[in-house]
Each structure stands twice: as structure tokens, then as C-alpha cells.
Amino acid sequence: MREYLDLVDRVLTNGIRKKNRTGVDTISCFAEHYTVDLRQGYPLVTTKKVNFKSMLHEVLWYLSGEDHIRNLRQHTKIWDAWADADGNLETAYGRYWRRFPSAQINPATGQYEVKEIDQVGEVIRLLKTAPESRRMVISAWEPGNALFSKLPPCHYTYAFNVSGEYLNCHLTQRSGDIALGIPFNIAAYSMLTQIIAQETGFVPGFFSHTIIDAHIYINHIDGLKLQLTRTPKPRPTLTIARKPIGELRFEDFELSGYVYDDPIKFEVAV
């Protein structure tokens, strides 16, 4: 996918060296942005193999609303480094997507009470009843959680917008690991856009992505330079069973035509 390679090239060319909490320096750019036309196919990076199955399990876990990884870790270990021994995760995206804690005053008592908000469900409701709305925003950032979480949400908010028959999605990310994280983010939110578009009677349009701190770890540079020598292959096709979002299972997703170059090993910075 050319948009991804152009992002890699910009950060390699323009990034400045920075230290960070992991102890492995990065080269970093501020406020990188790109847009992908989903009508041209499913944007799964082809210049290296992306673990589609692991990413799919992660998206379904988000949509489940679970705040632990006990079920997820049966399929993928990608969140193990940030969970406790019992599998509990301080920052579980799906918890905030589906059960965001909102403090509201009870008029009868004058006291705050916490009500959980299903943000995904609310977006689906608006798309079905008021698709012109500019309030279809989902947030994973809860300030109290961010104060103590081992890894506060990186891709912390996204919004949907309708243009005619097309459903568009914009993701804002505070911190983006270009080598490892961004290919997963592209695939995950493009898939989510397709899921919600099918649920609400729209066609996937554009996925747009802003990364506030777009960075490359210095031990990823050689691998990314290798990727830049490769030519993107045609995008694969993602087919999703037409079921309500709450009924979707792993076997309801079919990826076809995914042709990719050899894997490239990148170490995870924890």
C-alpha cells in the first residue's frame, strides 16, 4: 500500500531523534496524516506479511467490551505484556468503546452516579436515524485511567462521517509505532468501518488517520528501509458475513487475494 510506504519515507527522511519511556530511541515526526480509499480494496500492507488473524481476534475482542485478555490470549499474545497475572488490562479499548463510564448527577439526590455508555451502539443508532450527524465520535481516553495505566490508549479517538452512500472514518492517534503498530491500525479501523457500514446500510468510503507522534524505533530502521525497496501488490478483498455486529464471529470474515512479501522481524518496545 503506497500510502503506508510514503508515511515510512517521510518519517525516515524528516524525523528527529527522541528518547522515550522504553529506553530505545526513536526518530519522530509531528502530526503525520494520510488517507486511504477503501473502495480500492482492503488496505492490508503487502510489503511484509501482516498477521491478519491476530488483528481480527483483537478487533473482535474490542467489540466484545471485555476489560481482560483471558479470552483474547487463547488466540494471540499481543496484549500479554501489558496485562496483569490474571489477564486484567488497565486500558482495554473495548471497555471504553462499549462501556464508557460517564458520571452524571442524579437530580433526586444531587449525587454523581456512573452510567456506562455504549459508544459503538450510539454511533450505529445515529447512522440509522440521523446519518447527517457530526457527533459520531468514539473515545477510548478516560483521564483518570490515563493517570495510572501502564499503556494509555494510543489510538484514542475516532469519528464517522457520511458522504452520500459512503461511510468514512477518521482515527486520531497520540503515538504511533510505524513498523509494528500502524499496519495493524490501518487494517483494524478499515475493517471496523466495513463492519459498521454493512450494519447501517452504507458503503465503506475513506479511512483517514492522524498520528500526533509518528515514530520509528532505531532498531526498526533497517527493516523499514527494506520495505521501501518493495513494490506494493494489489490489495486483497475482505468479505464479512451480513450479521448484526454483536453476532459476528471469527469465521464470519474471509480474506482473499492477500499476496505479500516475506515477513520482516521487528522487536516490540514495551
pLDDT tens sequence across 166-196: 999 999 999 999 999 999 999 999 999 999 9
Q: Report if residue 263 sits inside a domain.
A: no
Q: Which three cell numbers stand for residue 249?
A: 464471529
Q: Report if residue 206 sits inside a domain.
A: yes
Q: Report if residue 202 sits inside a domain.
A: yes
Residue 1: the pLDDT is: 84
Task: Give the structural domain span for 171.
Answer: 2-256
Q: Which of 8, 29, 38, 154 is catalytic?
A: 154
The closest of 178, 216, 188 to 76, measured between CA atoms, is 188
Q: Report if residue 261 sits inside a domain.
A: no
Q: Report if residue 126 sits inside a domain.
A: yes
Q: Report if residue 268 sits inside a domain.
A: no
The whole-number average pLDDT for the span 34-44 is 98
| CATH code for the domain in which residue 23 is found | 3.30.572.10
* pTM (predicted TM-score): 0.94
Q: How many DSSP H helices and E strands does the chain contain?
A: 7, 10
Number of domains present in the structure of the chain: 1
CA distance to 127, 220, 262, per residue, from 164 (Å)? 12, 41, 39
Residue 270: the pLDDT is: 66
Q: Report if residue 270 sits inside a domain.
A: no
Q: Is 154 a catalytic residue?
A: yes
